[in-house]
């Protein structure tokens, strides 16, 4: 792949090079990232922009003894290449290959499992504290982007780190971008910080002003207080990074993150400094590849593309993505209802709200990487008569669980949660699987949970949730719909009403969301075996359609529940609980769903095969019930 890179199997090999050779290493790493992600997809833009920074860190620091903690991990591809994974980098995000994010199981150089934003500073402070308590001596460095710095947890970490005064370094990789353009006061503050040369001059001026003010011959407490106020005003006016200094950090920067001749001496000096330090490094997202430089949002997370032209591999015509169906439905409803508003937590592109924002700029709010704030912000809107829809990935909504319980459900306000990427999401792996939302929402009083079998049902559920006078969640998968015909007029669904899509007397398949289609395929397979399978499109996990379930249980005596969520506490558990509460006996139930482990990265088809969620698995589960082998099936396949 590269003349120098082929000789680097660890940071120790990198350290053998002269500083003059490092720019070539940077270039070769960028080439490798482009070539591999063009085949596998992945997070290209952030890693391209942070390449010099990653090379400088591994060149200077004694990793893995020194701890490098990446936030989110979008910028860590160069880190993986330099730390013994160069030869496996072509397996990036592939089944059995290396992960798209830092993973402790993969390498001792990965100090923390990451993929959700805002965690690095807190973990770094914990490691630094453990180091000090154990009398050890090593460096701890958190690398966080300005997008992640909007996360409440990041600010909590900064606040505590400044107070504890431990030796810890935070490197702020400022590219003015998260996944999309950053929003909020912190972003504006960083934009106001001046160039590095001016900053150094301003610091000297500040020191002179402080010295001068202390020599002013004022008498009395009032004069002293006035002097303090004047000093604070002057410092805040001329010193960049004063917010971080007031939090207890020594601020260094801004530093051009693409100039190794500036990065290396700056970091060498920082390594000698005690206490909490914040190094402000300014980079360009997608740097080094013209196409990603020009379109940093488009090239943040890429699918397969032509590295020579930058053109993405075109997919043939097909059904619209579920996310687009959701936002199109939102737009259609919003044109007739001015109270509907949308909320995103730094994921306008991911949740397909970009066009909605363009049409309704005053009714679409990107609050930054702040899921907790997003949920309670929605509560405030709802309490004053608006109809907020919080469009948040299933895996990210987990971060706001207390707000869902305390602010939404306890208050019983009409907030709609649009849970994009529910179920198995593919290449992003265990940190992004929407595996837990059914289980963590089903136990909450006042919550309604629904999941569509196709895109037409999704638009109906969108209206149903918005009109419901309490909390409601619509969970839908990543990717394209089923290609069904869409109703021109959107009609709501009766709350809690399931749909019997196929009659049968031998076994009943109770399916949720995209599992309905797989269950219909299984029913066709069972037909060939002369087994008549009923298929129930459950639609609602809460409340359940109790009468339809009980009727099927009594008629068929054998039920298979199928869901793309964890079995423990999931939809199947709800069905079993219902039968128990109703005193329905002599009914055999097999629950198919995600097992009690994290699901690795790979294509959704491979993940479903791994989890026993293919049509063939459903067919086998039904046959095992009918032939009395349910217990054997449970022990062999993980069915319960």
Q: Which residues are annotated as catalytic?
A: 285, 371, 399
Q: Which residues contact 498 (CB under 8 A, 6 or more apart)?
A: 536, 537, 538, 539, 540, 544, 545, 548, 549
Percent helix, strand and coil across the chain, each rounded to 5? Answer: 45, 15, 40
Give which of 200, 198, 295, 187 is closest to 243, Cα–Cα.
187
Helix or strand run (H / E) with residue 507: strand 507-511
Question: Which SS3 state, helix, strand or coil, does residue 578 take?
Answer: helix
The answer to whether 433 and 599 are in contact (CB under 8 A) is yes
Give which of 463, 257, 520, 584 is closest to 450, Cα–Cα.
463
Query: Residue 485, Cβ neighbours under 10 Å: how many?
Result: 8
532 DSSP 8-state letter? -
d(CA 294, CA 313): 19
Helix or strand run (H / E) with residue 388: strand 387-393
What are the two backbone dihedrals, phi and then psi, of residue 30, each rounded to the nearest 5 degrees? -60, -45
User: Strand 301-302 and strand 168-174: pairing?
Assistant: unpaired
d(CA 613, CA 632): 18
39 DSSP 8-state letter? H
d(CA 5, CA 1): 7
Give which of 366, 372, 461 is closest to 418, Cα–Cα.
461
Query: What DSSP string describes 253-308?
Result: EEEETT-HHHHHHHHHHHHH--SEEEEEEE--TTTTSHHHHH-TTTTTEE-SB-TT
Token pair for 593: 């769903």
Give which of 327, 336, 291, 328 is closest to 309, Cα–Cα.
291
568 DSSP β-pair partners: none
Using H for helix, E for strand and C for coil, what is the string for 63-76?
Answer: CCCCEEEECCCCCC
342 DSSP β-pair partners: 364, 389
Alpha-carbon radius of gyration of the chain: 28
Token pair for 78: 């160069």
What are the two backbone dihedrals, phi and then psi, of residue 267, each rounded to the nearest 5 degrees? -65, -35
Give which of 186, 236, 187, 192 is closest to 210, Cα–Cα.
236
Query: What DSSP string describes 89-113?
Result: GGGTTSTTS--SS--TTT-TT--S-
Query: What DSSP string describes 182-198?
Result: --SHHHHHHHH---HHH
């Amino acid at each position: 792949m590269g003349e120098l890179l082929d000789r680097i199997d660890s940071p120790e090999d990198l350290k053998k090079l002269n500083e003059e050779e490092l720019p070539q290493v940077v270039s070769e790493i960028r080439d490798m990232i482009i070539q591999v992600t063009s085949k596998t997809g992945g997070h290209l833009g952030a890693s391209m922009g942070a390449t010099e920074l990653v090379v400088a860190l591994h060149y200077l620091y004694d990793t893995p003894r020194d701890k490098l903690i990446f936030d989110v991990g979008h910028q860590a591809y160069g880190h993986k290449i330099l730390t013994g994974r160069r030869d496996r980098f072509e397996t990036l995000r592939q089944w059995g290959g290396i992960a798209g994010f830092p993973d402790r199981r993969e390498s001792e150089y990965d100090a923390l499992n990451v993929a959700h934003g805002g965690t690095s500073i807190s973990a770094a402070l914990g490691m630094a504290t453990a180091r000090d308590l154990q009398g050890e001596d090593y460096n701890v460095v958190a690398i966080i982007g300005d997008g992640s710095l909007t996360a409440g947890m990041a600010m909590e970490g900064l606040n505590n780190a400044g107070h504890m005064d431990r030796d810890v370094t935070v490197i702020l990789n400022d590219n003015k971008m998260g996944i999309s353009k950053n929003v909020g006061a912190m972003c504006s503050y960083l934009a106001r910080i001046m160039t590095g040369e001016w900053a150094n001059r301003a610091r000297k001026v500040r020191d002179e002003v402080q010295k001068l003010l202390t020599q002013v011959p004022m008498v009395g407490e009032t004069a002293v207080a006035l002097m303090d106020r004047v000093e604070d005003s002057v410092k805040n006016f001329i010193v960049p990074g004063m917010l971080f200094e007031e939090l207890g950090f020594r601020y260094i920067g801004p530093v051009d993150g693409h100039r190794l001749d500036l990065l290396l001496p700056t970091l060498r000096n920082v390594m000698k400094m005690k206490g909490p330090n914040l190094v402000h490094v300014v980079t360009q997202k997608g740097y080094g590849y013209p196409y990603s430089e020009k379109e940093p949002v488009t090239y943040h997370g890429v699918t397969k593309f032509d590295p020579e032209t930058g053109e993405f591999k075109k997919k043939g015509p097909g059904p619209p993505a579920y996310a687009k169906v959701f936002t199109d439905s939102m737009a259609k409803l919003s044109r007739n209802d001015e109270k509907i508003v949308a909320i995103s937590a730094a994921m306008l592109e991911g949740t397909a709200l970009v066009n909605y924002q363009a049409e309704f700029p005053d009714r679409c709010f990107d609050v930054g990487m702040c899921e907790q704030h997003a949920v309670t912000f929605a509560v405030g809107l709802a309490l004053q008569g608006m109809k907020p829809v919080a469009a948040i990935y299933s895996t990210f909504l987990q971060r706001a669980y207390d707000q869902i319980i305390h602010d939404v459900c306890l208050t019983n306000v009409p907030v709609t949660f649009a849970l994009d990427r529910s179920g198995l999401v593919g290449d992003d792996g265990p940190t992004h699987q929407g595996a837990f939302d059914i289980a963590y929402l089903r136990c909450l009083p006042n919550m309604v949970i629904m999941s569509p079998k196709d895109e037409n049902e999704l638009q109906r559920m969108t209206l149903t949730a918005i009109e419901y006078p309490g909390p409601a969640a619509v969970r839908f998968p990543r990717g394209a719909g089923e290609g069904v015909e869409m109703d021109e007029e959107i009609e709501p669904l009766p709350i809690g009403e399931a749909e019997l899509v196929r009659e049968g007397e031998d076994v009943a398949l109770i399916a949720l969301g995209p599992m309905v289609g797989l269950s219909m395929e299984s029913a066709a397979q069972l037909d060939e075996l002369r087994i008549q399978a009923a298929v129930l499109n459950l639609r609602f996990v809460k409340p359940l359609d109790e009468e339809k379930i009980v009727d099927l249980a009594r008629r068929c005596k054998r039920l298979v529940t199928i869901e793309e969520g964890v079995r423990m506490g999931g939809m199947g558990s709800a069905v079993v609980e219902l039968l128990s509460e109703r005193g329905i006996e002599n009914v055999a139930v097999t629950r198919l769903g995600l097992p009690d482990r994290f699901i690795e990265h790979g294509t959704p088809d491979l993940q479903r095969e791994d989890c026993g969620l293919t049509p063939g698995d459903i067919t086998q589960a039904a046959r095992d019930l009918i032939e009395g082998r349910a217990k054997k099936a449970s022990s062999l396949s993980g069915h319960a």
